[in-house]
Chain A
Amino acid sequence: MTTTPVLEAVDETLETQSRPPLNVIYEWLTTVDHKKIGLMYIVYALIFLVIAGFEAILMRIQLAIPNNHFVSPQVFNQLFTMHGTTMVFFMGMPILFGMGNYLVPLMIGARDMAFPRLNAFSFWISAFAGLLLYFSYIGGSGLYAAGSAPDVGWFAYAPLTSKVFSPGHSTDYWTLAVFLSGVGSIGTALNIVTTILCMRCKGMKMSRMPLLPWLYLVMSGIVFVAVSPLTAAQIMLTLDRYLGAHFFDTQAGGSAILWMHFFWIFGHPEVYVLVLPAFAFANEIIPVFSRKAMFGYPAMVAASVSIGFISLSVWAHHMFTAGLGPAGNTFFVFATMVISVPTGIKIFNWLATIWGGKIIFAVPMMFMIGFLFQFLIAGLTGIMLAAAPFNWQLSASYFVVAHFHYVLVGAIVFSLFGAFYFWYPKVTGRMMSETLGKWHFWLFLIGFHLTFDFMHVPGILGMPRRIYTYEAGRGWDTLNLIVGIGAIFQAAGTIVLVYNMIYSYFKGKEAGHDPWDAWTLEWSVPSPPPSYNFAIEPTVSSRRPLWDLKHPEDPDSDYE
């Protein structure tokens, strides 16, 4: 093989850097390169992370002391609606799609996604959806009295969303934004599936594919069957609001419970859309920092696929208090419990990978250990909630909020942070500061546990969710103060992260193309990768192609 294409790659990088700024901006706006689109997703999601985080802080300030009048009840409703909607649709999904966009083609040895223009379209439409959601603030009572930010909750239960209870256009902004983000998500999922099935490099059989693309495949499959129902429900809601249809209009025989079903048919699988990429990062990072091959690769794939299927049949555990009747309750209790089997398999396989490994406690690995531990706890409180009688007691209390934030923050965000530290060198060519990374980790870890460990307790003591203030003397005061302080720690940690990312971009150590001594294909190309990824299209003969290269005396391919 020749070596010239590599030199060519370096030349091209230099060339981009010396272009005038306007050209560079134009290039980003019109790009169809999967890496640039991935980065744009990540940047836009980080902006929304900061916005939604700010909303969370405002809510915690409001709840820090009893009888507080920092914000009004209306504003509080808007805050939790916007916070939830933003975090799920404009932070979580885009940032994970962004990571997938960047990593999937590189890891399967492809030069781009299967449909690059569709990829750009999906990005721009979901970015537009985010702007639309926040435009509701500007278009609010001030500018043209059209209503204000949405205040119907991220679940938008009927009949709260009917014209009678939600006059003005705030709910329409919500509906349209969610609808458009759904279109974008379906487009990206379609692209990811097609890329994985049709663009793998020579020799990369499905059974040799890294676990990250596998999990993105399952995740995209869930998007088709979970996000589409939400899209359908948004169409119905819009018909109700604009054309006077009666889907969810209880006055004309419509059903509010039907909305709940449609929403949670989306809502529950959605948590797996978010958590499977988090698993995916863990699957790549834990083996590298344990210096061992992933334990039980086929079991991991099987567990992920079965999680995908089971997750579609458990949605009504969000509706135990709506009165499903004993048969319905029993079914959904058992279906929910069944998920713990494949999830348990995953946790054991991660532990078995770490077990006896030569563990390197670099920042990405620290976040992964946090992820493992917190995901375990979240699973346990999930099983508690899945028991219908227990759920009747605690539904719509702060216990539920604590549970799902354990998953969303404790598992997903921790894994995501780990992934940032792991792949940053690949994307920028520079290492992130380890010292700042440790500061970020500890601040965030302490903050997370202060907030969400303590949040379970007022829940058990009877504090309902979605209340804007409470009376003193019920035993909730101190707890809420601690919860609020934890939120500040988390914000501080996030600021350290952002600072670290910017600082390291200019001052970080040169990374070289394979700083972690890793195994998958993305580490075989220069950092940052040239626009066409691979100078020569790779050919692989095992699950760890780079290991084979580095250890010719004992390559994986001999065992296949």
Chain B
Amino acid sequence: MMTTVTTASRIPIDGPIETPWKLPYRGTVGMACLIIAESAIFIIFVVAYIYYIGKSLSGPTPAQVLELPIFGTICLLSSSIFVHFAVSNLRKDNLRGCTLNLAATVLLGTIFLATTAREWYHLIHDEGLTIKTNLFGTTYYSLVGLHATHVVVGLIMLSLTLGLSLTGHVKEEHSEKLEVLSLYWHFVDAVWVVVFLVVYVLGR
């Protein structure tokens, strides 16, 4: 074909290079993308929940069976603060502080999960509300369940990190990675605020 003069070796042009050439950390960008995609999933479930409020053809209704999960909510939201401290401790190379804060995060998250489990047990056994019962059951279990699934995933990752930091594998240079994980956890908490408002405040 056409004659050319380029060769691979010539491509680094010694042009004026913008210094410093700094691009964002890929873990953060990747997590941001994941959060956008996950938010879209949650929005669809929330829309379905709101759309079906009061449209159940039979009981029980939310007002009859739901109670405000204040305690669990406090636990979950405060765990966000602890994971934040874990990251900032690690950044300052305070490994002990990081481990302690991680442990607190895992503990609080587990307590939250336990309150959800208790609530489900109560609803299924005492109130006879299942996903099959009516539209409220359908939308309630799927939305809260979707959130709980995310809590479980987050707890697994946090526990693994906790294990690694207990065995001394977590170092200061990992702080960016831990920050990515904490982003996810903050997201899970933020979603809970929405779920709380929609299910327990608006829905009742």
Contact = CB atoms under 8 A, between A and B. Distances in A.
A9 B7 CA distance: 13
B7 A114 contact: no
B37 interface: yes
Nearest to A4: B9
Interface stretch (B27-35, B72-80, B184-192, B196-204): B27-35
A197 interface: yes
A421 to B, nearest CB: 13
Contacts of A191: 30
B6 A550 contact: yes
Nearest to A517: B2
B9 A228 contact: no
Interface residues of B, number: 50
A228 B142 contact: no
Interface residues on A, range: 35 or more
Interface stretch (B15-23, B116-124, B163-171): B15-23
B4 A224 contact: no
B102 to A, nearest CB: 24
B131 A203 contact: no
Nearest to B25: A198
A534 interface: yes
Interface string B131-144: 11011011101100
B125 interface: no
Interface of B: 1-2, 4-18, 21, 23-26, 29-30, 33-34, 36-38, 40-41, 43-45, 48, 51-52, 55-57, 131-132, 134-135, 137-139, 141-142, 146
Interface of A: 1-3, 5-6, 9, 114-115, 186, 189-191, 193-194, 197-200, 202-203, 205, 220, 223-229, 231-233, 235-236, 239, 243-247, 252-255, 258, 262, 265, 431, 511-517, 521, 523-526, 534-541, 545-546, 548-550, 557
A517 B4 CA distance: 7
B135 A534 contact: no
Nearest to A552: B5
Contacts, number: 184
A194 B131 CA distance: 38
Contact of B1 (A225, A516, A550): A516
A189 B33 contact: yes
Contacts of B55: 253
Most chain B CB within a 10 A radius of its CB, from A198, A515, A523, A537: A198
Contact of A200 (B23, B44, B57, B141): B23
A198 B41 contact: no
B24 A228 contact: no
B142 A198 contact: no
A239 B138 CA distance: 9
A199 B56 CA distance: 51
Nearest to B36: A224
A104 to B, nearest CB: 14
